[in-house]
Structure 1
């Protein structure tokens, strides 16, 4: 495909538009192409289909081009009309291909919502976990009840909240489902019932007061923190900043940071 060929020749532009390097993209194609072939065989051999396998209209974009188009959509969160112009297909085609690629990638990169699953090698490297909530803007609901639930007093706008769990290597281990922006981080954690490896320290901010997490020492009213307390808070923030770095990497993809408009994919 012309767009893919041009971007391969310009690796910096490829990275800026897709969010991943060319070598990582090639690895991703190798990992997901067999899954796509399996899903295509299932689609073409479904009950009720009149045409034989091999008959019917063919895709204008090959698998690699479809995957690149989906990644550019995640990175830029631009309109389907513009992507269709860039890749030479219609807006409905962009919508369908992005939807199918999203389902394929979600199955390949499945992240649990509350249970942390680690290999034996990962368990050996695990020193501690970090938990934090991140908000993303959403459209203001027309219904007063939903409007009140989604309004975040912290952000002063309507948002959805996701709970993120990372390890000491800043790897994202779990992402919770979207919650109303009004919900407090601790309430989201209590309802999620996180399942983690035993005897592992978990770091959180002051939003997780009342949990078993390691949280900063809160300044008493009309009193100052001691030098030991300040030193502990510096140690704590130096470790916990890793979850902020992980969230920052996520939000480099505009689909995670701009106003959410894909109601079926949240």
Structure 2
């Protein structure tokens, strides 16, 4: 596989969004998590590197398994088994607590992701059956800190945040959110009160708040370059694993 990656560097970068060195880092993580283990039954027809590459291409392009199989010379059932086994191992790594502190600033936002599995979705304001996913992003580095399990798209932002359990990552860190996160221990914009206009200082604070909070929207937009997050066909925990893997690849692309 190393020879293929050297020969097809442009192909790898185009179809995964990662440079070869970044892909090697992803492969290292999967191997450390035990991705090279064998399952019962027939041995894999593809080495680990090609299976990881196949999954990265799947998340990036959202090709069907019938389309991916011929590209890698395997059956669609082999593609499915590889995604089921290795998809969870591409997950975002836990945040090191050494980077935490009051000087750090994190931003929280959510996004609706269309998903075919009705058990994790609901008809939402984007007129599609979607799931609501919370994401925490570091304001300075634009790295994804954590991503919550999806909830139905009709869930209110504050309720989805409280149910996500992400607040445990935010102890001792300043967290920004939009006006939907009132009473969630975040820094939110000043609100207009009936009969009382905002003071100029409050308007200035809100303008600065919007400027900083836009960074999380940019990160989510880049994550959605992986088309699996535009129309997810995975069922059960598949969407959660996809979000985690895309966040991991996003961080690799920024940090490497």
2:50 pairs with 1:65: yes
Q: 2:74 aligns with which of 71, 76, 89?
A: 89
Residue 217 of structure 2 aligns to a residue whose secondary structure is: helix
2:21 pairs with 1:23: yes
8 A Cα contact 1:126 1:167, kept in partner: no
- TM-superposed CA distance for 1:29, in Å, is 2.4
Sort the Cα spacing of 1:118 and 1:104 in 2 relative to 1 into closer, same or farther, 3 A: closer
8 A Cα contact 2:149 2:164, kept in partner: no
Q: 2:200 aligns with which of 224, 227, 240?
A: 227
Q: Which moved more, 1:64-73 or 1:243-252?
A: 243-252
8 A Cα contact 1:17 1:76, kept in partner: yes
Q: Which residue of 1 aligns with 2:87?
A: 102
Q: Which residue of 2 aligns with 1:191?
A: 163
8 A Cα contact 2:182 2:188, kept in partner: yes
Q: Which residue of 1 aligns with 2:244?
A: none
- TM-superposed CA distance for 1:34, in Å, is 4.5
TM-score, normalised relative to structure 1: 0.77
**How far apart in 2 are the matches of 1:92 and 1:37?**
18
2:76 pairs with 1:135: no
Determine which structure has more spread, i.e. the larger CA radius of gyration: 1
Structure 2 residue runs of 5 or longer lacking an equivalent are: 240-256
- TM-superposed CA distance for 1:204, in Å, is 0.4
**How far apart in 1 are the matches of 2:114 and 2:222?**
17
8 A Cα contact 2:15 2:57, kept in partner: yes
**How far apart in 1 are the matches of 2:175 and 2:76?**
45
Residue 239 of structure 1 aligns to a residue whose secondary structure is: helix
Q: Which residue of 1 aligns with 2:215?
A: 242
**How far apart in 1 are the matches of 2:206 and 2:117?**
37
Q: Which residue of 1 aligns with 2:143?
A: 171
Higher relative contact order (CA 8 A, sep 6+): 2
TM-score, normalised relative to structure 2: 0.80
- TM-superposed CA distance for 1:159, in Å, is 1.1
**How far apart in 2 are the matches of 1:32 and 1:170?**
23
1:145-224 map, 5 Å: 150-153=122-125, 155-168=126-139, 169-193=141-165, 194-220=167-193
Sort the Cα spacing of 1:61 and 1:167 in 2 relative to 1 into closer, same or farther, 3 A: same
**How far apart in 2 are the matches of 1:19 and 1:223?**
49
Q: What is the count of residue pairs matched by the alignment? A: 236
- TM-superposed CA distance for 1:244, in Å, is 1.4
Structure 1 residue runs of 5 or longer lacking an equivalent are: 45-55, 112-116
Aligned alpha-carbon RMSD (Å): 2.8
**How far apart in 2 are the matches of 1:29 and 1:211?**
37
Sort the Cα spacing of 1:37 and 1:165 in 2 relative to 1 into closer, same or farther, 3 A: closer
**How far apart in 1 are the matches of 2:206 and 2:35?**
52
Residue 137 of structure 2 aligns to a residue whose secondary structure is: strand
2:100 pairs with 1:123: yes
8 A Cα contact 1:165 1:175, kept in partner: yes
Sort the Cα spacing of 1:38 and 1:157 in 2 relative to 1 into closer, same or farther, 3 A: closer
Residue 39 of structure 1 aligns to a residue whose secondary structure is: coil
